[in-house]
Amino acid sequence: MPNVTVIGAQWGDEGKGKVVDWLASRADIVVRFQGGHNAGHTLVVGSQQYKLSLVPSGVVRGKLSVIGNGVVVDPWAFLAELDRLAGQGLVVGPELLRLSDTATLILPMHGALDRAREAARGDGRIGTTGRGIGPAYEDKVARRAIRVADLAEPAVLEAKLDELLRHHNTLLAGLGAETYDKGTLLSELLAVAPRLLRFAEPVWRRLHEAKAAGRRILFEGAQAVMLDVDHGTYPYVTSSNTVAGAAAAGSGLGPDAVGRVLGIAKAYTTRVGSGPFPTELTDATGRHLGERGREFGTVTGRPRRCGWFDAVMVRQAVRLGGIQGLALTKLDVLDGIPELKVAVGYRINGQAFDHLPAGRQAQAAAEPVFETHEGWTQPTSGARSWAELPAPAIKYVKRIEELVGAPVTLLSTGADRDDTILMQDPFAA
Protein backbone atom coordinates (compact mmCIF):
# COMPACT_ATOMS: atom_id res chain seq x y z
CA MET A 1 0.00 0.00 0.00
CA PRO A 2 1.46 3.35 -0.95
CA ASN A 3 1.37 6.49 1.15
CA VAL A 4 -0.72 9.41 -0.08
CA THR A 5 0.19 13.09 -0.33
CA VAL A 6 -2.61 15.64 -0.59
CA ILE A 7 -1.81 19.07 -2.05
CA GLY A 8 -3.82 22.06 -3.23
CA ALA A 9 -3.96 22.48 -7.02
CA GLN A 10 -5.13 26.11 -7.16
CA TRP A 11 -4.59 29.01 -4.73
CA GLY A 12 -5.62 27.30 -1.50
CA ASP A 13 -8.90 26.56 0.30
CA GLU A 14 -9.81 23.79 -2.14
CA GLY A 15 -11.12 21.58 0.67
CA LYS A 16 -7.87 19.82 1.58
CA GLY A 17 -8.97 19.50 5.21
CA LYS A 18 -12.22 17.80 4.28
CA VAL A 19 -10.47 15.36 1.95
CA VAL A 20 -7.67 14.63 4.43
CA ASP A 21 -10.23 13.97 7.17
CA TRP A 22 -12.07 11.62 4.83
CA LEU A 23 -8.92 9.77 3.75
CA ALA A 24 -7.60 9.65 7.31
CA SER A 25 -9.98 6.79 8.05
CA ARG A 26 -7.74 4.70 5.77
CA ALA A 27 -4.41 6.04 7.11
CA ASP A 28 -2.34 5.32 10.22
CA ILE A 29 -0.50 8.64 10.51
CA VAL A 30 -1.26 12.15 9.19
CA VAL A 31 1.68 14.53 8.65
CA ARG A 32 1.87 18.29 8.00
CA PHE A 33 5.12 19.15 6.21
CA GLN A 34 5.07 22.87 5.32
CA GLY A 35 3.30 26.15 6.01
CA GLY A 36 2.06 27.26 9.39
CA HIS A 37 -1.06 28.78 10.87
CA ASN A 38 -1.65 30.69 7.65
CA ALA A 39 -3.52 27.51 6.70
CA GLY A 40 -7.17 27.17 7.66
CA HIS A 41 -8.83 23.82 7.16
CA THR A 42 -12.52 23.45 7.98
CA LEU A 43 -13.94 19.99 8.67
CA VAL A 44 -17.64 19.32 9.05
CA VAL A 45 -18.60 16.14 10.88
CA GLY A 46 -22.34 16.03 11.41
CA SER A 47 -23.25 19.00 13.61
CA GLN A 48 -19.62 19.62 14.65
CA GLN A 49 -17.31 21.97 12.78
CA TYR A 50 -13.56 21.92 13.36
CA LYS A 51 -11.23 24.69 12.22
CA LEU A 52 -7.63 23.56 12.09
CA SER A 53 -4.59 25.66 11.25
CA LEU A 54 -1.49 23.92 12.55
CA VAL A 55 -2.78 20.65 13.87
CA PRO A 56 -3.05 17.97 11.17
CA SER A 57 -6.62 17.09 10.22
CA GLY A 58 -6.01 13.48 11.31
CA VAL A 59 -6.64 14.31 14.98
CA VAL A 60 -10.38 14.48 14.39
CA ARG A 61 -10.36 10.76 13.51
CA GLY A 62 -8.04 10.05 16.44
CA LYS A 63 -5.17 9.24 14.07
CA LEU A 64 -1.59 9.83 15.17
CA SER A 65 -0.66 13.24 13.78
CA VAL A 66 2.75 14.75 13.17
CA ILE A 67 3.91 18.33 12.62
CA GLY A 68 7.05 17.96 10.52
CA ASN A 69 10.27 19.97 10.47
CA GLY A 70 9.12 21.91 7.39
CA VAL A 71 6.29 23.60 9.32
CA VAL A 72 6.75 26.98 11.02
CA VAL A 73 5.16 26.86 14.47
CA ASP A 74 3.87 29.78 16.49
CA PRO A 75 3.94 28.39 20.06
CA TRP A 76 1.02 30.51 21.25
CA ALA A 77 -1.11 29.77 18.19
CA PHE A 78 -0.31 26.07 18.62
CA LEU A 79 -1.38 26.01 22.26
CA ALA A 80 -4.46 28.16 21.58
CA GLU A 81 -5.53 25.71 18.87
CA LEU A 82 -5.17 22.78 21.27
CA ASP A 83 -7.22 24.68 23.85
CA ARG A 84 -9.89 25.45 21.26
CA LEU A 85 -10.13 21.79 20.28
CA ALA A 86 -10.29 20.74 23.91
CA GLY A 87 -13.19 23.21 24.30
CA GLN A 88 -14.97 21.23 21.57
CA GLY A 89 -14.36 18.02 23.46
CA LEU A 90 -11.36 16.94 21.40
CA VAL A 91 -8.44 16.65 23.80
CA VAL A 92 -5.19 16.32 21.84
CA GLY A 93 -2.25 15.19 23.92
CA PRO A 94 1.25 13.91 23.08
CA GLU A 95 -0.08 10.39 22.50
CA LEU A 96 -1.98 11.75 19.48
CA LEU A 97 0.24 14.59 18.27
CA ARG A 98 4.01 14.81 17.80
CA LEU A 99 5.98 17.93 16.96
CA SER A 100 9.33 17.89 15.16
CA ASP A 101 12.15 19.09 17.40
CA THR A 102 13.72 20.83 14.39
CA ALA A 103 10.64 22.83 13.38
CA THR A 104 11.20 26.59 13.20
CA LEU A 105 9.33 28.82 15.66
CA ILE A 106 7.31 31.87 14.67
CA LEU A 107 7.84 34.59 17.27
CA PRO A 108 5.85 37.81 17.85
CA MET A 109 8.30 39.96 15.87
CA HIS A 110 7.71 37.84 12.77
CA GLY A 111 4.05 38.79 12.71
CA ALA A 112 4.91 42.41 13.48
CA LEU A 113 7.41 42.52 10.61
CA ASP A 114 4.98 40.78 8.23
CA ARG A 115 2.28 43.37 9.00
CA ALA A 116 4.63 46.39 8.98
CA ARG A 117 5.97 45.40 5.56
CA GLU A 118 2.51 44.87 4.17
CA ALA A 119 1.47 48.31 5.42
CA ALA A 120 4.55 49.83 3.80
CA ARG A 121 3.73 48.16 0.47
CA GLY A 122 0.37 49.96 0.30
CA ASP A 123 -1.43 49.03 -2.94
CA GLY A 124 1.43 46.70 -3.81
CA ARG A 125 0.75 44.48 -0.82
CA ILE A 126 0.78 40.68 -1.17
CA GLY A 127 -2.22 40.28 1.07
CA THR A 128 -0.46 37.92 3.48
CA THR A 129 -2.26 36.47 6.47
CA GLY A 130 -0.07 38.72 8.66
CA ARG A 131 0.97 35.77 10.79
CA GLY A 132 4.71 36.01 10.34
CA ILE A 133 5.06 33.07 7.97
CA GLY A 134 7.43 34.78 5.51
CA PRO A 135 9.74 36.35 8.12
CA ALA A 136 9.99 33.04 10.02
CA TYR A 137 11.04 31.14 6.89
CA GLU A 138 13.53 33.93 6.11
CA ASP A 139 15.13 33.40 9.52
CA LYS A 140 15.28 29.65 8.95
CA VAL A 141 17.14 30.05 5.66
CA ALA A 142 19.37 32.71 7.22
CA ARG A 143 20.31 30.19 9.96
CA ARG A 144 19.24 32.36 12.85
CA ALA A 145 15.84 30.77 13.56
CA ILE A 146 14.86 29.49 16.98
CA ARG A 147 13.75 25.89 16.71
CA VAL A 148 11.63 23.71 18.97
CA ALA A 149 14.68 21.95 20.48
CA ASP A 150 16.14 25.32 21.55
CA LEU A 151 13.35 25.62 24.10
CA ALA A 152 15.11 22.92 26.14
CA GLU A 153 18.41 24.85 26.16
CA PRO A 154 17.85 28.25 27.83
CA ALA A 155 21.44 29.44 27.29
CA VAL A 156 21.22 28.76 23.56
CA LEU A 157 17.79 30.36 23.46
CA GLU A 158 19.09 33.54 25.07
CA ALA A 159 22.07 33.80 22.72
CA LYS A 160 19.86 33.21 19.69
CA LEU A 161 17.41 35.85 20.84
CA ASP A 162 20.30 38.34 20.94
CA GLU A 163 21.12 37.66 17.32
CA LEU A 164 17.49 37.59 16.26
CA LEU A 165 16.63 40.89 17.93
CA ARG A 166 19.70 42.63 16.53
CA HIS A 167 18.30 41.84 13.12
CA HIS A 168 14.58 42.34 13.71
CA ASN A 169 14.64 45.41 15.94
CA THR A 170 16.71 47.23 13.31
CA LEU A 171 14.16 46.38 10.63
CA LEU A 172 11.14 47.14 12.82
CA ALA A 173 12.55 50.50 13.91
CA GLY A 174 13.22 51.35 10.26
CA LEU A 175 9.57 50.63 9.45
CA GLY A 176 8.41 52.72 12.39
CA ALA A 177 7.10 49.70 14.29
CA GLU A 178 7.55 48.75 17.97
CA THR A 179 10.70 46.85 18.88
CA TYR A 180 11.01 43.82 21.17
CA ASP A 181 12.77 43.25 24.48
CA LYS A 182 14.93 40.18 24.96
CA GLY A 183 14.16 39.59 28.62
CA THR A 184 10.40 39.66 28.03
CA LEU A 185 10.60 37.32 25.03
CA LEU A 186 12.89 34.93 26.86
CA SER A 187 10.59 34.65 29.84
CA GLU A 188 7.52 34.28 27.61
CA LEU A 189 9.22 31.48 25.67
CA LEU A 190 10.43 29.71 28.81
CA ALA A 191 6.90 29.93 30.20
CA VAL A 192 5.43 27.97 27.26
CA ALA A 193 8.44 25.70 26.72
CA PRO A 194 7.28 22.81 28.96
CA ARG A 195 3.88 22.61 27.24
CA LEU A 196 5.51 22.51 23.79
CA LEU A 197 8.33 20.16 24.71
CA ARG A 198 5.79 17.52 25.80
CA PHE A 199 5.01 17.07 22.10
CA ALA A 200 8.56 17.37 20.75
CA GLU A 201 10.65 14.52 19.40
CA PRO A 202 12.77 13.58 16.38
CA VAL A 203 9.68 12.74 14.32
CA TRP A 204 11.81 11.42 11.45
CA ARG A 205 12.63 8.37 13.58
CA ARG A 206 8.99 7.61 14.33
CA LEU A 207 8.07 8.11 10.66
CA HIS A 208 10.93 5.91 9.54
CA GLU A 209 9.78 3.13 11.86
CA ALA A 210 6.18 3.50 10.75
CA LYS A 211 7.20 3.32 7.12
CA ALA A 212 9.37 0.26 7.73
CA ALA A 213 6.44 -1.42 9.47
CA GLY A 214 4.21 -0.77 6.44
CA ARG A 215 2.02 1.83 8.15
CA ARG A 216 0.09 4.13 5.82
CA ILE A 217 1.20 7.75 5.98
CA LEU A 218 -1.04 10.54 4.74
CA PHE A 219 0.75 13.84 4.07
CA GLU A 220 -1.46 16.91 4.41
CA GLY A 221 -0.37 19.87 2.29
CA ALA A 222 -1.27 23.44 3.14
CA GLN A 223 -1.74 26.28 0.64
CA ALA A 224 -1.40 25.16 -2.99
CA VAL A 225 0.82 24.83 -6.05
CA MET A 226 0.01 28.32 -7.36
CA LEU A 227 1.12 29.71 -3.97
CA ASP A 228 4.41 27.74 -4.08
CA VAL A 229 7.39 30.04 -3.53
CA ASP A 230 9.15 28.72 -6.67
CA HIS A 231 6.32 27.72 -8.96
CA GLY A 232 3.44 30.00 -8.00
CA THR A 233 2.46 33.51 -9.01
CA TYR A 234 5.53 35.06 -7.37
CA PRO A 235 5.69 37.35 -5.41
CA TYR A 236 2.00 36.75 -4.63
CA VAL A 237 2.78 33.41 -3.00
CA THR A 238 3.49 31.95 0.40
CA SER A 239 7.06 31.32 1.61
CA SER A 240 7.28 27.55 1.34
CA ASN A 241 7.30 24.85 -1.31
CA THR A 242 3.81 23.44 -1.48
CA VAL A 243 4.39 20.79 -4.16
CA ALA A 244 4.33 17.11 -3.24
CA GLY A 245 8.12 16.81 -3.28
CA ALA A 246 8.20 19.02 -0.18
CA ALA A 247 6.51 16.27 1.87
CA ALA A 248 9.76 14.28 2.01
CA ALA A 249 12.10 17.14 2.99
CA GLY A 250 9.51 18.62 5.33
CA SER A 251 9.10 15.46 7.37
CA GLY A 252 12.49 13.76 7.24
CA LEU A 253 11.68 10.89 4.91
CA GLY A 254 13.03 10.01 1.47
CA PRO A 255 11.23 10.85 -1.77
CA ASP A 256 9.78 7.33 -2.07
CA ALA A 257 7.64 8.06 1.01
CA VAL A 258 5.52 10.61 -0.87
CA GLY A 259 3.47 7.87 -2.55
CA ARG A 260 0.38 8.71 -4.60
CA VAL A 261 -0.16 12.42 -5.10
CA LEU A 262 -3.74 13.62 -4.86
CA GLY A 263 -4.36 17.20 -5.96
CA ILE A 264 -7.41 19.02 -4.61
CA ALA A 265 -9.23 21.48 -6.86
CA LYS A 266 -12.54 23.28 -6.58
CA ALA A 267 -14.96 22.97 -9.49
CA TYR A 268 -14.38 26.73 -9.87
CA THR A 269 -11.53 28.95 -8.62
CA THR A 270 -10.94 31.15 -5.59
CA ARG A 271 -8.05 33.20 -4.30
CA VAL A 272 -7.45 35.23 -1.11
CA GLY A 273 -5.03 38.13 -1.19
CA SER A 274 -3.52 39.97 -4.15
CA GLY A 275 -2.05 38.70 -7.39
CA PRO A 276 -3.07 37.58 -10.87
CA PHE A 277 -6.32 35.65 -11.33
CA PRO A 278 -7.14 35.28 -15.04
CA THR A 279 -10.65 33.79 -14.65
CA GLU A 280 -11.77 36.11 -11.83
CA LEU A 281 -15.42 37.22 -11.92
CA THR A 282 -16.23 40.59 -10.40
CA ASP A 283 -19.87 40.43 -11.53
CA ALA A 284 -23.06 38.90 -10.10
CA THR A 285 -21.89 35.36 -10.96
CA GLY A 286 -18.72 35.93 -8.93
CA ARG A 287 -20.83 37.15 -6.01
CA HIS A 288 -23.14 34.15 -6.40
CA LEU A 289 -20.17 31.73 -6.18
CA GLY A 290 -18.91 33.57 -3.10
CA GLU A 291 -22.27 33.38 -1.34
CA ARG A 292 -23.22 29.86 -2.36
CA GLY A 293 -19.70 28.56 -1.65
CA ARG A 294 -19.40 30.58 1.60
CA GLU A 295 -16.10 31.87 0.35
CA PHE A 296 -14.66 33.66 3.34
CA GLY A 297 -11.12 33.00 4.56
CA THR A 298 -10.96 30.58 7.50
CA VAL A 299 -7.96 32.43 8.93
CA THR A 300 -8.60 36.10 8.19
CA GLY A 301 -12.33 36.18 7.39
CA ARG A 302 -11.55 38.05 4.15
CA PRO A 303 -13.97 37.43 1.27
CA ARG A 304 -12.31 35.15 -1.29
CA ARG A 305 -12.12 36.30 -4.91
CA CYS A 306 -14.09 33.89 -7.12
CA GLY A 307 -13.97 32.88 -10.79
CA TRP A 308 -14.47 30.10 -13.33
CA PHE A 309 -12.48 26.88 -13.32
CA ASP A 310 -9.09 27.49 -14.89
CA ALA A 311 -7.96 24.29 -16.61
CA VAL A 312 -4.73 25.89 -17.80
CA MET A 313 -3.67 26.65 -14.27
CA VAL A 314 -4.73 23.29 -12.83
CA ARG A 315 -2.92 21.47 -15.68
CA GLN A 316 0.19 23.45 -14.77
CA ALA A 317 -0.30 22.49 -11.10
CA VAL A 318 -0.75 18.83 -12.07
CA ARG A 319 2.59 18.85 -13.85
CA LEU A 320 4.49 20.92 -11.27
CA GLY A 321 3.07 19.09 -8.30
CA GLY A 322 3.34 15.55 -9.65
CA ILE A 323 -0.42 15.18 -9.22
CA GLN A 324 -1.65 11.71 -10.24
CA GLY A 325 -5.29 12.04 -9.33
CA LEU A 326 -7.61 14.93 -8.65
CA ALA A 327 -10.25 15.40 -5.97
CA LEU A 328 -12.78 17.85 -7.36
CA THR A 329 -14.65 19.67 -4.58
CA LYS A 330 -17.63 22.00 -4.28
CA LEU A 331 -19.32 20.73 -7.43
CA ASP A 332 -22.61 21.50 -5.63
CA VAL A 333 -21.79 25.22 -5.64
CA LEU A 334 -22.30 25.20 -9.43
CA ASP A 335 -25.84 23.76 -9.10
CA GLY A 336 -28.40 25.87 -10.92
CA ILE A 337 -25.99 28.08 -12.88
CA PRO A 338 -27.36 27.90 -16.46
CA GLU A 339 -24.04 28.16 -18.26
CA LEU A 340 -20.52 27.43 -17.02
CA LYS A 341 -17.18 28.52 -18.41
CA VAL A 342 -13.79 26.84 -18.25
CA ALA A 343 -10.50 28.48 -19.28
CA VAL A 344 -8.68 26.35 -21.86
CA GLY A 345 -5.92 28.79 -22.82
CA TYR A 346 -4.73 32.36 -22.34
CA ARG A 347 -4.13 35.30 -24.63
CA ILE A 348 -1.38 37.61 -23.50
CA ASN A 349 -0.77 40.75 -25.53
CA GLY A 350 -2.34 39.10 -28.57
CA GLN A 351 -0.34 35.88 -28.28
CA ALA A 352 -1.76 32.44 -27.40
CA PHE A 353 -0.41 30.61 -24.31
CA ASP A 354 -1.07 27.08 -23.03
CA HIS A 355 0.46 27.92 -19.63
CA LEU A 356 0.92 30.86 -17.27
CA PRO A 357 4.33 32.38 -18.06
CA ALA A 358 6.68 33.61 -15.33
CA GLY A 359 6.72 37.36 -16.03
CA ARG A 360 4.74 39.47 -13.61
CA GLN A 361 3.36 41.78 -16.31
CA ALA A 362 2.52 38.82 -18.54
CA GLN A 363 0.68 37.09 -15.67
CA ALA A 364 -1.29 40.24 -14.94
CA ALA A 365 -2.22 40.58 -18.62
CA ALA A 366 -3.36 36.97 -19.11
CA GLU A 367 -6.87 36.87 -20.62
CA PRO A 368 -8.63 33.52 -20.48
CA VAL A 369 -9.90 31.77 -23.59
CA PHE A 370 -13.11 30.11 -22.45
CA GLU A 371 -15.17 27.18 -23.56
CA THR A 372 -18.79 27.07 -22.49
CA HIS A 373 -20.62 24.21 -20.77
CA GLU A 374 -24.25 23.49 -20.17
CA GLY A 375 -25.16 23.80 -16.48
CA TRP A 376 -27.47 21.45 -14.57
CA THR A 377 -30.81 21.99 -12.84
CA GLN A 378 -31.00 18.71 -10.91
CA PRO A 379 -28.86 19.34 -7.79
CA THR A 380 -25.59 17.54 -7.10
CA SER A 381 -25.59 18.87 -3.53
CA GLY A 382 -25.09 16.02 -1.09
CA ALA A 383 -24.79 13.37 -3.82
CA ARG A 384 -22.97 10.31 -2.55
CA SER A 385 -22.81 8.21 -5.71
CA TRP A 386 -21.90 8.79 -9.34
CA ALA A 387 -25.39 7.57 -10.34
CA GLU A 388 -26.98 10.54 -8.53
CA LEU A 389 -25.19 13.07 -10.73
CA PRO A 390 -27.03 14.77 -13.61
CA ALA A 391 -25.60 14.14 -17.09
CA PRO A 392 -24.25 17.69 -17.67
CA ALA A 393 -22.34 17.50 -14.35
CA ILE A 394 -20.73 14.22 -15.41
CA LYS A 395 -19.82 15.78 -18.75
CA TYR A 396 -18.26 18.77 -16.95
CA VAL A 397 -16.14 16.51 -14.71
CA LYS A 398 -15.05 14.35 -17.68
CA ARG A 399 -14.01 17.45 -19.64
CA ILE A 400 -11.95 18.71 -16.69
CA GLU A 401 -10.11 15.37 -16.53
CA GLU A 402 -9.32 15.62 -20.21
CA LEU A 403 -8.14 19.23 -20.02
CA VAL A 404 -5.93 18.93 -16.94
CA GLY A 405 -4.46 15.54 -17.79
CA ALA A 406 -5.31 13.75 -14.53
CA PRO A 407 -8.25 11.53 -13.58
CA VAL A 408 -10.82 12.81 -11.11
CA THR A 409 -10.66 10.08 -8.47
CA LEU A 410 -12.80 11.73 -5.79
CA LEU A 411 -15.73 14.15 -5.94
CA SER A 412 -17.04 16.30 -3.12
CA THR A 413 -20.62 17.53 -3.19
CA GLY A 414 -20.98 19.17 0.21
CA ALA A 415 -19.02 20.29 3.26
CA ASP A 416 -20.02 17.26 5.32
CA ARG A 417 -17.51 14.45 5.64
CA ASP A 418 -19.91 12.00 3.98
CA ASP A 419 -20.85 14.16 0.97
CA THR A 420 -18.13 12.39 -0.95
CA ILE A 421 -17.98 10.12 -3.99
CA LEU A 422 -14.90 7.94 -4.25
CA MET A 423 -14.04 6.60 -7.69
CA GLN A 424 -10.57 5.33 -6.90
CA ASP A 425 -9.00 4.85 -3.47
CA PRO A 426 -5.55 6.50 -3.61
CA PHE A 427 -4.25 4.11 -0.94
CA ALA A 428 -5.23 1.13 -3.05
CA ALA A 429 -3.74 2.50 -6.29
Rounded to whole angstroms, how far apart are CA atoms 260 and 327? 13
Q: How far is the CB of 154 from Mg ion (least distance, A)?
A: 36
- The partner in contact with residue 414, picked from Mg ion, ligand GDP, ligand IMO, none with C-beta cut-offs of 5 to 8 angstroms by kind, is ligand GDP
Binders of ligand GDP in range 291-320 (CB under 6 A): 298
13 binds Mg ion (CB under 5 A): yes
Residue 328 touching ligand IMO (CB under 6 A): no
Rule CB under 6 A: is residue 286 a binding residue for ligand IMO?
no
Peptide bond preceding 235: is omega within 30 degrees of 0, i.e. cis?
yes
Q: What is the DSSP letter of 418?
A: T
Q: Give 412's strand partners.
A: 420
Q: How far apart are CA 321 and CA 244, in angstroms?
A: 6
Catalytic residue among 21, 37, 41, 101: 41
Q: Is the dihedral of CA 7, 12, 14, 18 positive or negative?
A: positive
Residue 93's contacts (CB-CB under 8 Å, 6 or more residues apart) are: 198
Among 13, 21, 150, 332, the active-site one is: 13
Per CB under 6 A, which region of 13-21, 68-76, 115-123, 356-364 contacts ligand GDP? 13-21
* Residues contacting 192, CB < 8 A, separation 6+: 75, 76, 79, 151
The reply on whether position 412 binds ligand GDP by CB under 6 A is yes
Number of residues that bind Mg ion (CB under 5 A): 3
Q: Which is nearer to ligand IMO, 138 or 158 (CB)?
A: 138
Say whether 416 is catalytic. Answer: no
Nearest-angstrom CA–CA distance, 179 and 157: 19
CB of 208 to ligand IMO, least distance (A): 26
State how far the Cα of 42 lies from the Cα of 289, in Å rounded to an integer.
Answer: 18
Phi, then psi, of 115 in degrees rounded to 5? -70, -35
* Rg for the chain, CA atoms, rounded: 21
CA distance 60 to 24: 9
Residues 273, 236 contacting (CB under 8 angstroms): yes
Residue 374 Cβ vs Mg ion, minimum distance, rounded to whole Å: 30
Closer residue to ligand IMO (CB): 40 or 252 = 40
Per CB under 6 A, the segment of 35-43, 200-208, 248-256, 311-319 that binds ligand GDP is 35-43
> What is the smallest separation between the CB atom of 307 and ligand IMO, expressed in angstroms?
14
| Number of other residues whose CB lies within 10 A of the CB of residue 263 | 30
Provide the CA 41 distance to its chain's centre, in angstroms: 8
Q: Pairing mode, if any, of strands 64-67 and 97-100?
A: parallel
Q: Which residues within the stretch 1-30 sit at the binding site for ligand IMO (CB under 6 A)?
A: 8, 12-13
Q: Is 129 in the site for ligand IMO (CB under 6 A)?
A: yes
Binds ligand IMO by CB under 6 A, chosen from 58, 273, 321, 368: 273
Q: Which helix (H) or strand (E) holds 345?
A: strand 339-348
Q: Which of 4, 5, 10, 15 binds ligand GDP (CB under 6 A)?
A: 15
Min dist CB 128 to ligand IMO, Å, is 4
Does position 273 interact with Mg ion (CB under 5 A)? The reply is no
Out of 77, 126, 192, 422, the residue judged to bind ligand IMO by CB under 6 A: 126
| Active-site annotation holds for 13 | yes
Tell me: does residue 56 bind ligand GDP (CB under 6 A). no
Beta strands in 286-333 (DSSP E): 305-307, 309-310, 325-329
334 makes contact with ligand GDP (CB under 6 A): no
14 binds ligand GDP (CB under 6 A): yes
The partner residues of 329 in beta bridges, in order of sequence, read 266
Q: Residue 45 pairs with which residues in a beta bridge?
A: 48
Positions touching ligand GDP (CB under 6 A) are 8, 12-18, 40-42, 44, 298, 329-330, 332-333, 412-415
Positions touching Mg ion (CB under 5 A) are 13, 40, 298
Positions touching ligand IMO (CB under 6 A) are 8, 12-13, 38-41, 126-129, 131, 133-134, 222-224, 227, 236, 238-239, 272-273, 298
